[in-house]
Structure 1
Amino acid sequence: MEVTGIVPEFDQKAVLQRWKDNFHVSRDAFEQAVFNHFNEFVPYVYGLNLDNEKEERKAQKFLFHPLEEFLCQGDPAHVFQTLNYSDEPSQLCGHNFKNGEPTYSCRDCAYDPTCVLCITCFQESSHRNHRYRMSTSGGGGYCDCGDTEAWKSDPYCCLHKPRKEEAESDSINMPQDIQEYMAVTFRCVLKYASTMLTFRDNLCLPFTPDRPVDRSLPVFMCMLYNDEVHTYDQVINILQRAIDCTQRQALEYATIVDREGRSCVRMGTFEECNSVKLTIERNTSRHGTKALKVEVVVKEVVAHQLFALKILSWLQTVCDKANSIRKILCGVLMESRIVNNQPKLSVLEEFIQADTMLWKVARVQSHQLLMSCVLKDPPSKKQFSVIFTKWYPQMVRAFSEDDHDHDVSMPSLSVQIFTVPSLARMLIAEHDLITVITKAFLNACEHKKNHLGKLSFDRERPDRTNVFKRSLFVLHDLKYALVCKPTCPEEWSDSLRDNFLSGLTSFLQLLSLIQGMDSVKRQTGQHLEFDPEWEGAFT
């Protein structure tokens, strides 16, 4: 099981032929053939700590180029170019903003402040001559150019203006056999990626659980994970004691942990890594604080998890090649599955459910895949909004108990859905969105109620976990949904009216928790030495 630098035997034609033969046998046989290839080459590519340039070259040669050639059943560059030429160009920009990237919002034309343009679209649009606001992105959003529901006028820049008056077709303009190859390949790599990123047994591989691991070999890594509880200085001091490193080395580890969500701080045998793990946990759990998360992981598992992240990034690149490819990938992400005659969650739902289990960079990659794929295809975006609403209560509960920032958590995608008028009204009318949001917040309020059923915040015993404070993000989602009000009487359908009243009833329940909280009674006959608490309702 030790990762070595010995080059495995590689013949791309033989690999592709083996995959194709198994493809015609069964989908399970094809998946197993691909997983066997990954098991052989991923540790060689990602397990040797090569510099980035060499690693990318090897990954392209041994992993991604065979996938692309099988995907296209021919020269990938030629097939991608042909598909892109035959597609109607997308009217949506959908550029994903990086942290610190400039964004532009038009004060005259934007429906709300969340509607923004990237610098390229802004410079090619009429909005540059309007009253506009410039700001920097915190990461996680995307350009709204081409979204007619985001702008009162001039929704398109010159680059995304549609050639025809007709709406984009929902059909997939691609030969049927290529569609089948792409769909099966996407299912395979998404199954691999979701399995590896959510795999909990760090001492073996999910696809080869029977392979023994010799704990005396130096094939283990001690992985330190990020949280928003401990400070830089605390982590640096603890690392200096646990792994006997200099302050500069500890700072480098802490920086990687903060940026990527985790870092390897020790490599060696299981006993050596586990000793470091126990030391870190013991020193960070003092004084009742939550211990830093540390895991001992087999090197090969780390290599496969790194490749799984690269797959998510690769899928974003591939779906940008043509709209028809994006539609296929969206369908695979959201399709329900049957495994061993039992219903199983879609890949998208697995990512939603596992979001708080993932480290920072894994969360960001999964969110960016959704934004560059699902949210850029209008029919898929509508389907995703229904799934998102279905899982909303569980997401809110998991986020409130988590310790990561809101902008790297799945609930942050609500702004991309609930601010779209047509989607918000559809979700209210068909899925009772206002009630879903309000009840999610009411559930978070349960442990803050006193014996009178009113909200009560104890100043003497503050909530160290910030569970309630984190739940307050739900109120932003309620605001987004309520902003998208119908503009004329004809838009008020019976179901929309009924569910709005249902949501209002839930909201009145919330107001009843606030009415009379921290009430003050008049004191007569004796001086009151201490004022009663009243700040809780406002802070």
Structure 2
Amino acid sequence: MYSGGGGGNDGGGPGDWDDEFGSGSGASGLYFDLEGSASQGESIHSAARRIMLRGRKEASSYISAECSRGGPTPELDAVMDYLFDPEQPIDNSNSIEWVRWLISGGRTPDDFASIVRSYDNHAKCGLVWVPHVVAYRCRTCGISPCMSICRDCFKKGDHTNHDFNMFLSQAGGACDCGDTSVMKSEGFCSDHGINNRANKDPVPGNLLAVAEAIMPKLLFRLLHHFREYSHPPIQSHLHSMAVYKCEEFGNMLMDLNNMGELMRRVMTKALINPDLYRRFIEQPFPDTKHGRFLRSSKQKYEDAVNMFPSPEPPDEYKHLPALGETLHHSTLLEEFIFWTFKFEFPQNLVCFLLNMLPDQDYKEHLTRTFVMHYSRIPSVLEMSKDPDTLSNRVVHMSVQLFSNESLALKMVEELSLLHVMIISLKLMMSKILIQNTLHVPEKNFHYVIDCAKRVMKEHCYWPLVSDFNNVLSHESVALVFLRDDNLIDMWFQFLSMLQGMNVNIRETGGHVEFEPSSYYAAFSCELEASAYPMWSIISHLKDGTHAELAKKILTFCVNSLQEWLDAIYFCEPKLEKREMMHASFHFPLHRYLAAFTCQAVTTMGMTLGDILPSPDLLTLLMIHPLRVQDLVPKIYDF
């Protein structure tokens, strides 16, 4: 709840703030016009002191009047510069309380919050929750399989006789009630949806005057905080410290956000305005204390961007904007996304950014920015000391962005999202390849994923395959994938990395008490990274209208299988005695061939003669699945 924090005591006298900052605290000039905003001959410190001695309520009325007149706000700038001197900690309770009062414009913070909420007219819920919170998913109402709604919206809606389930959220989420791109309107609760918008009186012109003037200053102060903790080489404890030391400041922003649509619009307007961002970072910094600070802050930001790992895509894809070597930011939001990646998706920052998703312009800007940074996810996961928690936080954000079919398709068409996802996944896995040991190792030049590596054991790849499955759940996106030969070819190159991985050697001399951990890693990887996308694609091939697409993917599959057989030097349909002691359970290319063949014959009107490879190739392809079947009774004999 947005609280006044002791609304009865609004005096905020000299002892209340001099003790916090000390009377000698200099002005940083961070927020106001660098030419100076205090009256001529008056220092910023003195100007702030003069205003703040009035007490919080009277000072907020005074500042509100200044902001309502329009134009420059030197008095507000002076107070803000004093309260949030960047040389002081950002989480200063007194400064935060002053901001709550200033934004309220002469009212108490509680009264102001109630008034702003009374004008809330949003059609979407958008409530954001963290991991381990109970939520609901209704398959009857859902358009996207990732659709979820909060407890209140579920109870206020009518889901009688629907196919729904209650679940404990593992990665966090956001409520989709009211969003027609994710769920059907008949599933909306009584509070959300376009038809549930109430007719509100016009919003008073000066209600948000101070909020509009102060919001950019608050957001930029938070960016400065992250910049200060970006000293190389950055350590994981600095990640935690950076997040912990702005927790109260972040809670204040969340409280403002929770006032509803009006305040969210003030925030999003500041976050996605390129002119505003340019004004903060491109001024000619004077040779003064605050000018030197701004210059230093900008240098730290640029150093952090330049040192952030960049992808190494194939030469033919280096021209793609989202695979560029250098990151360029033009809005506050874009820099916030950078720090989100840099500091491993801190929960409070993720929730803050997701809380504004009901604003459609903001959602598209956030999604576009997220895609532009997407290729850095593998590096962030590989460097993390807690990839499991990080994976959940990445998906907490990405699932909200990619569940909207029209927006996902737009990112595919404009920013080559599918290419970025597959290339990112391939780059991550290509770092852990080892030579395959099936058959005769000295003649085998096929390379497979090493399931004993940390990337596999800790499922670092999971956010990438989860996002890929999410976007493939949209028919329009899946059809783009199926129509693009280069995408299919890259995908089968990735599947080949799983083909024949984690070779098992039969032990005849003694009992194996425990299976190695790579055993589980291999099976879970094939399920998540191979089988799930396969079933997502197949679900869209329902009849003969897409028969040519099915035939094309089968052709790629057969070609990949032939290349694999050549690479493992398997030319005859027989196994030597030594080879009988080695086996793999992982043949995703075989499973793709079987699954798509079945779909083509049963639902698309194709015959086996249309799609099966030559009898000689089929004979070779049968050996490895039969080998797995042959192993089953032997395993149980032990």
Tell me the TM-score range normalised by the shorter chain: 0.5 to 0.7
Task: Indicate the residue corresponding to 2:405 in structure 1.
Answer: 421
Q: Distance in 2 between matches of 1:87 and 1:392?
A: 34
Residue 140 (structure 2) pairs with residue 140 (structure 1):
no
Residue 260 (structure 2) pairs with residue 322 (structure 1):
yes
Contact 1:399 1:411 in 2 (8 A): no
Residue 129 (structure 2) pairs with residue 97 (structure 1):
yes
Q: Distance in 2 between matches of 1:325 and 1:465?
A: 42
User: Higher relative contact order by CA 8 Å / sep ≥ 6: 1 or 2?
Assistant: 1
Aligned AA (1:106): C
Q: Distance in 1 between matches of 2:569 and 2:74?
A: 68
Report the alpha carbon displacement of residue 499 of structure 1 after superposing the two structures with TM: 8.1
Q: Distance in 1 between matches of 2:71 and 2:88?
A: 25
SS across alignment from 1:13: coil
The TM-score normalised by the length of structure 1 is: 0.63
Aligned AA (2:464): V
SS across alignment from 1:376: coil
Alignment counterpart, residue 335 of structure 2, candidates 340, 350, 361:
350
Contact 1:196 1:305 in 2 (8 A): no
Task: Indicate the residue corresponding to 1:432 in structure 2.
Answer: 416
Alignment counterpart, residue 441 of structure 1, candidates 425, 439, 445:
425
- Structure 1: runs of 5+ lacking an equivalent: 47-58, 204-222, 227-260, 263-301
Range 66-75 or range 434-443, more displaced:
66-75
- Kindly provide the CA deviation profile for residues 312-366 of structure 1, in whole angstroms up to 9, marking residues without a partner as x: 2211211221312101201222333221359855333333323354378xx0000
- Structure 2: runs of 5+ lacking an equivalent: 1-16, 24-48, 285-327, 436-443, 500-559, 589-638
Residues 453 and 477 (structure 1 numbering): CA distance in 2 closer, same or farther, change over 3 Å? farther
Contact 1:386 1:427 in 2 (8 A): yes
Q: Distance in 2 between matches of 1:473 and 1:202?
A: 28
SS across alignment from 1:93: coil
Report the alpha carbon displacement of residue 385 of structure 1 after superposing the two structures with TM: 1.2
The two structures, once aligned, show a CA RMSD in angstroms of 4.5
Alignment counterpart, residue 84 of structure 1, candidates 112, 117, 122:
117
Residue 251 (structure 2) pairs with residue 308 (structure 1):
no
Alignment counterpart, residue 457 of structure 1, candidates 446, 449, 453:
449
Contact 1:91 1:160 in 2 (8 A): yes
Name the % identity.
16
Report the alpha carbon displacement of residue 414 of structure 1 after superposing the two structures with TM: 1.3
Contact 1:352 1:395 in 2 (8 A): no
Task: Indicate the residue corresponding to 2:524 in structure 1.
Answer: none
Residues 414 and 474 (structure 1 numbering): CA distance in 2 closer, same or farther, change over 3 Å? same
Residue 211 (structure 2) pairs with residue 182 (structure 1):
yes
Task: Indicate the residue corresponding to 2:527 in structure 1.
Answer: none
Contact 2:131 2:170 in 1 (8 A): yes
Report the alpha carbon displacement of residue 406 of structure 1 after superposing the two structures with TM: 3.5
Q: Distance in 2 between matches of 1:14 and 1:165?
A: 39
Report the alpha carbon displacement of residue 195 of structure 1 after superposing the two structures with TM: 2.1
Report the alpha carbon displacement of residue 392 of structure 1 after superposing the two structures with TM: 1.0
1:381-396 pair list within 5 angstroms:
381-396=363-378
Report the alpha carbon displacement of residue 367 of structure 1 after superposing the two structures with TM: 0.5
Report the alpha carbon displacement of residue 163 of structure 1 after superposing the two structures with TM: 4.6
Contact 1:107 1:131 in 2 (8 A): yes
Residues 449 and 466 (structure 1 numbering): CA distance in 2 closer, same or farther, change over 3 Å? closer
Range 67-76 or range 380-389, more displaced:
67-76
Q: Distance in 1 between matches of 2:118 and 2:383?
A: 48
Report the alpha carbon displacement of residue 508 of structure 1 after superposing the two structures with TM: 4.3
Contact 1:428 1:499 in 2 (8 A): no
- Kindly provide the CA deviation profile for residues 105-150 of structure 1, in whole angstroms up to 9, marking residues without a partner as x: 2232223442122221111111144232111122520222111222
Q: Distance in 1 between matches of 2:484 and 2:154?
A: 37
Range 126-135 or range 309-318, more displaced:
126-135
Aligned AA (1:366): L
Report the alpha carbon displacement of residue 85 of structure 1 after superposing the two structures with TM: 3.0
Contact 1:419 1:480 in 2 (8 A): yes
Report the alpha carbon displacement of residue 371 of structure 1 after superposing the two structures with TM: 1.6
SS across alignment from 2:448: coil
Range 100-109 or range 462-471, more displaced:
462-471
Task: Indicate the residue corresponding to 1:37 in structure 2.
Answer: 83
Tell me how many residue pairs correspond in the alignment: 413
SS across alignment from 1:184: helix
The TM-score normalised by the length of structure 2 is: 0.54
Residues 182 and 129 (structure 1 numbering): CA distance in 2 closer, same or farther, change over 3 Å? same
Residue 74 (structure 2) pairs with residue 13 (structure 1):
no
Contact 2:342 2:380 in 1 (8 A): no
1:124-523 pair list within 5 angstroms:
124-163=156-195, 181-200=210-229, 225=237, 262=240, 306=244, 308-336=246-274, 337-338=277-278, 339-341=281-283, 345-358=330-343, 363-373=346-356, 375-404=357-386, 405-449=389-433, 454-458=446-450, 462-464=452-454, 466=456, 469-486=459-476, 503-511=487-495, 515=560, 516=564, 519=568, 521=570
Report the alpha carbon displacement of residue 449 of structure 1 after superposing the two structures with TM: 4.6
Contact 2:125 2:175 in 1 (8 A): yes
Task: Indicate the residue corresponding to 2:544 in structure 1.
Answer: none
